[in-house]
Structure 1
Amino acid sequence: MLATFLFQRSIPPIYHHSEPLAFLPSGPMVEVTTAPLGPISPEIIWLAAIQYYGEEKISGGKFEFLTQVFDVLTRIDPLFDHAYQFGSIVIADEGRSPEQAIRILKRGLVKNPSSWIPPFYIGFVFYIHLRDFAKAGKYFELATRRSGAPEYVYRLAAFAYKKVRLRKGSILIWSKIYQNTDNQTLKEAALRNIRCLILEEYLEYLNKGLQRFEREKGRKPEHISELIPEYIDSIPTEPFGGAFKYDSSRDSFISTTYLQIEKIIAYLNNKLHVFKQKFGYYPERLDELVAKGVIDFIPPHPLGRIYNYRFGRVIR
């Protein structure tokens, strides 16, 4: 979207196609040379880079000078946030060189220490292109420590940590969002996510204790209290107001909140089947179940979420 916006602006022609960009000095040469750059300024190179990108995009080019031009540009003006932002996206995406994008951004990390842009886009490249969610979370979190970072940076840090089950990091980020936002909807979402992560942490803790109990005792417990104090210190408080119970059929501890969700989803899916039998199609939205008189109301989600409904089924 950014690339399209910039390219569609009225930019006077600077260079025709990519040949003259081959005469740009390499990035390191820009930093060590004592020769003046003459009329070439960061603004001129920026406009040339945008024009070059647009021409290559339209003609199906190979973007062979993409890394070079943004390397030069960010060395000439290391505080130029737009160059890091736009350059990293197109180098990683169109140029198929995410490692080169990260290399340029890491220089910006040092040269522009007050900006949240370089660490955020390092995280972005790790998240989208390299699928390294742990490193993405690390750099997103670093971006949150710099002034001016918008709220979505905090959210992305939390999501990235959650993907690699780094719950403590995710809880920390959601806690920052909860403490710092004035948006009530976002505040509620942050609190809900914190509780969900704590619930997962407690279940993992209980089930690790259960596994040790069964391994050492050679049997299943009759009640959760049998694990105290040798295998767990205490029974934690369930964050959503439910309770933790041992389910012998699953041989694991489960939250009564999760059991309630399972029951509601089974109920809704049954009613969706009834709707299909009666009207010959599945509704586009769950509220059609109420509108058509199949159910009186949609039970609220125990976690305060919106039900994930698609293709005639509620998934969660």
Structure 2
Amino acid sequence: MRRLLPAASLVLLAAIIFRVQTRMDVLRHALPPGYEMLYLPAGKYIKLTSLGYQQIFADVIYLWSIQHTTNEAVPDRFARVEHVYEVINDLDPEYVDPYHIGAMTMVYEMNNIPMALRLLDRGMRNLPANWSIPMDAGFYAFMHARDFDLAVHYFDIAMQRPGAPSVLRRLRADMYRRKGDIQTARDFWHDVLEGTTDERERRIAYNHFFDLSQETDLRVLRKAIEAYTTARGHRPARLSRLKEDGFIAEVPTNPEGAEYIYDPRSGEVSPPSPFNLNRRVQ
């Protein structure tokens, strides 16, 4: 009889477990897909229960977050995305992929640039030697926020980190051109040209430097011609008069040493050589 009691207890226990599991399954299926994200605790609490395996927890939550945000059956699947990536970062601050993938999700799926930049800012603090995270931030600031000053800020950070690719210097220089500061952009392209021995990179840098030099000179000359015409009541007969009468310090020539073409009848000034990158000066 004593030997039968433990067996009976096991059967009863199994029945109870089955009943509880069945009830839990019913409750789980009654909840909408993705409900788990609503109850994900903060990273500091998960750390306490991870028994030193927080990196494994970070991996699991990261993979689960990708499944969650790509499941279109989940209502409001992006509602807690920022919290989820905060948890992952808390568990494993040096885990690089979540910064990139999380920011990509926030930009392209949620169209939330500020949220993406907050995530990348956290990555920059946690990984002070990583250049790819600030490079991503600069790209999003440039392409999506259209904030060229902010893009320069991020590219500056990336350039100062070990192993940063030389393309960052080109991106940074181009930001100045895009925001209208073509003289600064020209100076940066000149620095790129002088600072590299790679022939392909030198060719790219020279083309930008050449075009921006002509663009800068044309703006200077047109402004001086306008000032001269206003002051004298007629257009200058030749460009050298702008220097002779003190409207410019020197009459510029293009990077190849060629003089700019001037038509005194119309007051128009044009470049002596075509723009290498087919730019048009406004």
Whether the TM-score (by the shorter chain) exceeds 0.5 is: yes
1:36 maps onto 2:52 in alignment: no
The alignment of Structure 1 onto Structure 2 pairs a total of residues equal to 244
Deviations 1:60-85 (A, max 9, x none): 65322221111222233333322222
| 2:4 match | none
Deviations 1:117-167 (A, max 9, x none): 332122122112212223213322321121111233233222222211223
Separation (CA, whole Å) in 2 of partners of 1:37 and 1:216:
80
| 1:275 match | none
Runs of 4+ deviating beyond 6 Å: none
- Structure of higher RCO (CA pairs closer than 8 Å, 6+ residues apart): 2
Letter paired with 2:69: E
- TM-score w.r.t. the length of structure 1 is 0.67
With over 3 angstroms needed to count, the CA separation of the structure-2 counterparts of 1:250 and 1:90, relative to structure 1, is: farther
Deviations 1:158-190 (A, max 9, x none): 222221122344335434543454431121111
| 2:65 match | 52
Separation (CA, whole Å) in 2 of partners of 1:74 and 1:35:
12
1:88 maps onto 2:88 in alignment: no
Larger radius of gyration: 2
Give structure 2 stretches of 5+ with no counterpart: 1-31
The two structures, once aligned, show a CA RMSD in angstroms of 2.9
Separation (CA, whole Å) in 2 of partners of 1:190 and 1:196:
10
Aligned positions of 1:277-316 closer than 5 A = 303=276
| 1:200 match | 215
Give structure 1 stretches of 5+ with no counterpart: 1-15, 262-301, 309-316
Query: Is contact 2:242-2:251 (8 Å) kept?
Result: no
Separation (CA, whole Å) in 2 of partners of 1:34 and 1:54:
20
| 1:236 match | 252
With over 3 angstroms needed to count, the CA separation of the structure-2 counterparts of 1:128 and 1:82, relative to structure 1, is: same
Deviations 1:80-118 (A, max 9, x none): 322222211111221221101111222333333222133
Separation (CA, whole Å) in 2 of partners of 1:82 and 1:176:
33
Query: Is contact 1:246-1:252 (8 Å) kept?
Result: yes
Question: Which stretch shifts more, 210-219 or 153-162?
Answer: 153-162
Q: Per the alignment, in what secondary structure is the counterpart of residue 269 of structure 2?
A: strand
With over 3 angstroms needed to count, the CA separation of the structure-2 counterparts of 1:191 and 1:17, relative to structure 1, is: farther
Separation (CA, whole Å) in 1 of partners of 2:154 and 2:257:
35
Residue 20 (structure 1) shift: 2.2
| 1:171 match | 186
